[in-house]
Amino acid sequence: MSIYLFAFFTSFLVNLILIVPFIDLLYKMKFQRVHQETRDAFDKKTPIFDKYHSMKVGIPVGGGVLTVFTTLALFVFFITLFLLGQRQIISNYSSVISEIKILLFTIVSFSFLGLYDDLKKIFFLKDTAFFGLRLRHKLLVEIFLGFIISYWMYSELKINIIHIPFLGVYAVSWLYILFSTFVIVSFANAINISDGLDGMASGVLTIALLAFWAVSVSILDTPLLVFIAVWLGGLIAFLYFNIYPARIMLGDTGSLAFGATFAVIGLLLGKAFALPIIGGVFVIEIASSLIQLLSKRFFNKKAFPVAPLHLWLQLRGWGEPKVVMRSWIVAALFATFGLMVAFMK
């Protein structure tokens, strides 16, 4: 266990050393939030959202770029150390290489999609052919990437079952690909939606990942233990600079990559039922947005004054730190309950 804790602290220190120069670099590149009128999925103005986010203009966006890079580099470094030191790499699956490939492909592919989104928003790259990608087209790309990942889990790792506590294990065959794709895309967008307040998405994700790390320890899966350790180290270092008032924001690069990877880790651990509980805050956030979207689409009226939930709480008079701190408390409760579910037979 000491090697995994060493990986965690190494990642934390590396990210802590790099993040201040990285923030300075983002300022020089003008990779910052700019003042603009945001629009919803129906291309309508969102004045309430703009009101509560106007003070974030000028904050560098791109914290996810550094965390993704250091997580990848340190994960490969520590796995290489295991191989050179001839330490046994334990996995729940017959192909360790496939498990590693799935983890790396997930975080890299979704981070590139998120980077495209960040570039479009910051530099207003909307009128060219490539940067004219609409929301529905981005969703199709997410589904395509999620399908590839899900197919690999089904074909190479032979995952085709879903465990529901007290009810048993159900083999769903190729339908697992569709189920897994839905879960990956849902969490990618859930964390993206939650990344609206200083420290909210990164703080809630840190708590949820600690729960998954506990599950990984119980089954001794080396790739997942190392990956979560270095990811957590980087995430906590980022969170130090992301809490209110934030010096750096996660951005779509991080939120999309982290959301998809979080879902994949839950699926690789075989905890598909516990996943939405451990990530309960993210589920509530995306559910409130989805209900609002469907209500506007089919009934031409709002289900809530505003969505997602954190924005509605702000509208009711809750200060940003209050919303975030209480989200962390709720996340801790969800994670604890989710752990109980995860260890049920």
Positive or negative: CA dihedral 183, 187, 193, 194: positive
Structural domain includes residue 90: yes
Q: Are 248 and 23 in contact (CB under 8 A)?
A: yes
4-41 pLDDT, tens digit per residue, is 999 999 999 999 999 999 999 999 988 877 665 565 55
Give the chain as a 3 state SS string. Answer: CHHHHHHHHHHHHHHHHHHHHHHHHHHHCCCECCCCCCECCCCCECHHHHHHHHHHCCCEECHHHHHHHHHHHHHHHHHHHHHHCCCCCCCCCCCHHHHHHHHHHHHHHHHHHHHHHHHHHHHCCCCCCHHHCCHHHHHHHHHHHHHHHHHHHHHCCCCCEEEECCCEEEECCCHHHHHHHHHHHHHHHHHHHHCCCCCHHHHHHHHHHHHHHHHHHHHCCHHHHHHHHHHHHHHHHHHHHHCCCCCCECHHHHHHHHHHHHHHHHHHCCCCCCHHHHCHHHHHHHHHHHHHHHHHHHHCCCCCCCCCHHHHHHHCCCCHHHHHHHHHHHHHHHHHHHHHHHCCC
- The answer to whether residue 188 sits within a structural domain is yes
Task: Domain of residue 121: give its range.
Answer: 2-271
Question: Strand pairing partners for 164?
Answer: 168
Contacts of 241 (CB under 8 A, 6+ apart): 19, 23, 63, 247, 248
Contact 269, 215 (CB under 8 A): yes
- Tell me if 196 is assigned to some domain: yes
pLDDT at 88: 81
> Is residue 318 included in any domain, yes or no?
no
User: Which pLDDT score, from 0 to 100, does residue 128 have?
Assistant: 41
CB 180, CB 153: distance < 8 Å? yes
Q: What is the pLDDT of residue 37?
A: 55
Residue 289 maps to a domain:
no
Question: pTM for the complete prediction?
Answer: 0.92
Considering the domain boundaries, does residue 23 fall inside one? yes
Q: What is the pLDDT of residue 52?
A: 63
Q: Please report the pLDDT score of residue 44 as a whole number.
A: 60
192 assigned to a ligand binding site = yes
The answer to whether the CB of 249 falls within 8 A of the CB of 59 is yes
Does 323 fall in a domain? no
Q: Is residue 172 part of a domain?
A: yes
Our count of domains for the chain comes to 1
Name the residue with tokens 């106007």: 54
Low-confidence ranges of the chain (pLDDT < 70): 34-53, 123-134
